[in-house]
Structure 1
Amino acid sequence: MRPPTGPPPGPGPGAGRPVPSPPHLLILGGTTEARRLAEALAARPGGGTRVTTSLAGRVARPVLPPGEVRIGGFGGPEGLADWLRAHRVTALVDATHPFAGTISFNAARAAASAHVPLLALRRPPWTSVDGDDWHGVGSLEEAADALTTLGARRVFLTTGRTDLSAFAGRGDGTWFLVRSVDAPEPPYPARMETLLDRGPFTLDGEREVLRRYAIDAVVTKDSGGEATAPKLTAAREAGLPVVVVRRPAVPEGVAEAATPAEALAWLDVHT
């Protein structure tokens, strides 16, 4: 059999062209919404989006989302902007806690510097209903003052383990039940009991907490969402005042989504 003659066949159509990289999404996470967004992207047929979730590292045993995970800070807005450029991030979603104000403003500055589209994924705030006795305040310090005005003596404090300093200097004998995922960090109130627990919480469970500890006032941040909302219903049923710390605003000009589904729709346009 004769060997073939002539030049070898050339490369097929498209040979030698660079393969385009998939879109790279960075999620600033730590919330249920962030994890659900990563799960929804991972469940899409064929994938198509590289997802990295960044966690601050403040919780000892976080629930990890699918995809790549990095833990720790970026070194301010400049460090975040450098990371976005170095890892060729095509979109940034700030799905941090509604009260993580510093990282949200850092994200806005970094996204503008790196020319990366930014979305803030924020669960809607809570709204009061008939029978609620809510006292809105602008800060934790104002919340502490409100407890004095209300004459509260046994307080269910659900603002997180790192935000207790505003209540630490009280010398009026007020007792606090502090609930958090990990043990609180000082400074914290002198008269305090810690309840280590992670949501979601049930209405029956919240009723029992208020009854067992003889709570006469509740303090919470307006985090929104369903996981920790039953305490509000339990407080309403018991006729207890609730001091609600208002959440900070999203940085001006940043697009917002209230649900992971809305965030997916935004990503379809911007990646």
Structure 2
Amino acid sequence: MGLTSFQRLCFVFALFTFAFPAQGSMTKITAVNDAWPPYVTRDKAKPGFSVELVTAALHTQGYDTEFLLFPWARGLYEVRNGRIDLITTTWHTNARSEFLLFSEPYFATNVDIMMRKDTFFEYAGPKSLTGKRIASVRKYGYEQWFLDAEDFQRVETTSLVSSLRMLAAERVDIAVGNRFVMLQEMKPLNLNADDFHFYPVPMIRQHIHIAAGKTNPNASEYIQAFNRGLKTIKQNGTFTDLIKKYGLKLPNNITEE
């Protein structure tokens, strides 16, 4: 099913050109994510680790990838219903597995606890969050204990940018997300990193996958192609080069970062 004219008017990444040899006619494929720097950025010249990785992996399998930038919940909805082929930085959850097919994990990330500099508490599991107001992004794949807990108040936002604004305005006590992403997202908001700090132990550790909606008749084909391409770019050095380019650290154990 094709994209609507409204969707086409949304922010679309101009697909950059990799220095790959010509492989004949390429099959077009669409992918979506929200801005999640350094994994997905708004910078066409340096569009993000995940954008470049997914593009490179699928290119080895004959796919030409067009990236779109939507709010997270909207992008997930479009992939779930087969109107966009892939979402590129998703975490696996049991609920999502009912409507998404997941690739092999290609990286790992933490969900960190961010506070204002005048705030500190000892995080020691779910009970230590009692009474806190916590900004979290709607439809993100947090672990079930976080979604089910009733001892603290989850304040749902549409993006990490919204979470950071609420934290800076003292409307919440904590914002949760990947620290590298939040530090990047603070810059356009003119927030000073010295006014905030992170708890040294992450709240959650997650794998990063791409996923396709099960309603998409080509879902299995796309996921298998990515898995093959991921192996190829690990073997040819592209994977390592991208990690270095974006200043990321490949964990010895992929569940840690």
- Shorter-chain TM-score tier: 0.3 to 0.5
Structure number, greater radius of gyration: 1
TM-score by length of 2: 0.39
